[in-house]
Amino acid sequence: MSMLITGIGELVTNDGTVDGAVDDPLHAGLGVIRDAAVVLSGGGEDSAPTVEWVGPADQAPAADWSISLEGRAVVPGFVDSHSHLVFDGDRSAEFAARMSGTPYDGGGITVTVEATRAADRPRLRELLQQRVSEMRSQGTTTVEVKSGYGLTVEDEVKALRLAREVTPEVTFLGAHVVPPEARGSAADRAAYLDLVVGEMLTACAPHARWIDVFCEPASPHAFDGEESRRVLEAGRDAGLELRVHGNQLGHGPGVQLAVELGAASVDHCTYLTDEDVEALAGSGTVATLLPGVEFSTRQPYPDARRLLDAGVQVAIATDCNPGTCYSSSMPLMIALAVREMGMTPAEALRAATVTAAKALRRTDIGRIAVGQRADLALVDAPSWLHIPYRVGVPVVRALEV
């Protein structure tokens, strides 16, 4: 079965090779076609529909079905490459305390760990599914989901299996923090790290694609450079691909380690030296910025302009989690990237789609081009620019095909 979607006022393809794209600085890199159509085909039990044709509406081929979007815009579905959606518990009071000046130090993670351990599987599944559908309703069609609020072998496996029900982009984050029961002594901390790279990794690796570590010497419960290296190397040896939480709360070794080990992405990147920026620029590692975190912790925003001007690949994601940013909204991240991080609207949209796909090493999403997955988001407005322009207004949602 094929479906023709016509009447697209503006189609963002992210395809630099597309014929007849709008050619001006406002649309740079977006491959925008006006008065466009797409044809989608396939889709069944095991395979997602794909894009079969893209172009001007007046040249569209016939299809089995056809709908008109009556001048609305279409963009590639957002790729949220960083989230922590498997959790229970409430930390709204911690947010309120931060708004009156209490700094974030990662300590509140244990509140979520306790609540998540206490929750049964159906409850966690329901919460997870609600969060994923909240994301879809705001235009997100791919999400990465981490464990990291279980921190026992059994609880981490439980989180990863649930995450696998909603996405293939599943990340083992046993090295989120040292859990409360292992904070009594240096020996207890070392034993926890041994567990993470040993029995926990063995049990978790079959359920995950990625391994991540909270590399943050500024937090007493997160991991330093050597500990992080150990986690990442063990994960790589177990067949997992690498991503890193780094340089969130202060300068540190996260970025250099991520680049050295060939991680797909290093996320946060709030505190960077010139050497960090240089290392990223010459690497295949994406810098994923999470501006909702700075919004919700009152930290300074990362300097996206500095990174882009140096030639670094920059993605943006929500980091949706109960502590540093309980927002599932990619449109909000785009608006913050534009308003607070010096990105142009076109740079922010690419960061939320095609570069975020790169942060997940995915080549089948993030663009609207022949052969790509048919992951489209519908903008209830004549231009994609309304995504940051109409901040806080639900103008974009995943298109159900």
Which residues contribute to the site for ligand NIG (CB under 6 A)?
A: 106, 108-109, 112, 214, 245, 248, 293, 319, 321-324
For residue 268, say whether it is annotated as part of any ligand binding site: no
Could you say which of ligand NIG, Fe ion, none residue 322 binds, taking C-beta under 5 to 8 angstroms by partner kind?
ligand NIG
Q: Which residues contact 89 (CB under 8 A, 6 or more apart)?
A: 111, 112, 114, 115, 116, 322
Candidate ranges 92-100, 275-283, 316-324, 361-369; the one touching Fe ion (CB under 5 A): 316-324
Where are any strands of DSSP class E within 1-105? 2-12, 32-41, 50-56, 65-68, 73-76, 78-80
For residue 323, say whether it is annotated as part of any ligand binding site: yes
Q: Is 184 exposed, middle or buried (0-12, 13-18, 19+ CB in 10 A)?
A: exposed
Q: Which two tokens stand for residue 220?
A: 């007493």
Per CB under 5 A, 319 contacts Fe ion = yes
For residue 123, say whether it is annotated as part of any ligand binding site: no
**Closer residue to ligand NIG (CB): 172 or 214:** 214
CB of 174 to ligand NIG, least distance (A): 13
Position closest to Fe ion via CB: 319
For residue 131, say whether it is annotated as part of any ligand binding site: no
Buried b (16+ CB within 10 A) or exposed e, 130-146: ebbeebbebbbbbbbbb
CB of 234 to ligand NIG, least distance (A): 20
CB of 128 to ligand NIG, least distance (A): 15
For residue 221, say whether it is annotated as part of any ligand binding site: no
Secondary structure string (H, E, C) spanning 242-303: EEEEECCCCCCCHHHHHHHHCCCEEEECCCCCHHHHHHHHCCCCEEEECHHHHHHHCCCCCC
Could you say which of Fe ion, ligand NIG, none residue 345 binds, taking C-beta under 5 to 8 angstroms by partner kind?
none
CB of 377 to Fe ion, least distance (A): 23
| Strands of the sheet with 314-316, listed across from one edge | 145-146, 170-175, 210-215, 241-246, 265-268, 286-289, 314-316
Could you say which of ligand NIG, Fe ion, none residue 324 binds, taking C-beta under 5 to 8 angstroms by partner kind?
ligand NIG
Could you say which of ligand NIG, Fe ion, none residue 372 binds, taking C-beta under 5 to 8 angstroms by partner kind?
none
Could you say which of ligand NIG, Fe ion, none residue 80 binds, taking C-beta under 5 to 8 angstroms by partner kind?
none
For residue 350, say whether it is annotated as part of any ligand binding site: no
CB of 139 to ligand NIG, least distance (A): 21
**Closer residue to ligand NIG (CB): 88 or 319:** 319
Buried b (16+ CB within 10 A) or exposed e, 328-358: bbbbbbbbbbbeebbbbbbbbbbbbbbbbbb
CB of 379 to Fe ion, least distance (A): 28
Rounded Cα gap, residues 280 and 285, in angstroms = 6
- Write out the H or E segment, with its range, that includes residue 307: helix 304-309
* Known binding positions: 82, 84, 91, 149, 176, 245, 248, 319, 321, 323-324
| Residues lying near Fe ion in the complex (CB under 5 A) | 319
* Known binding positions for Fe(3+): 82, 84, 245, 319
* Known binding positions for 4-imidazolone-5-propanoate: 91, 149, 176, 248, 324
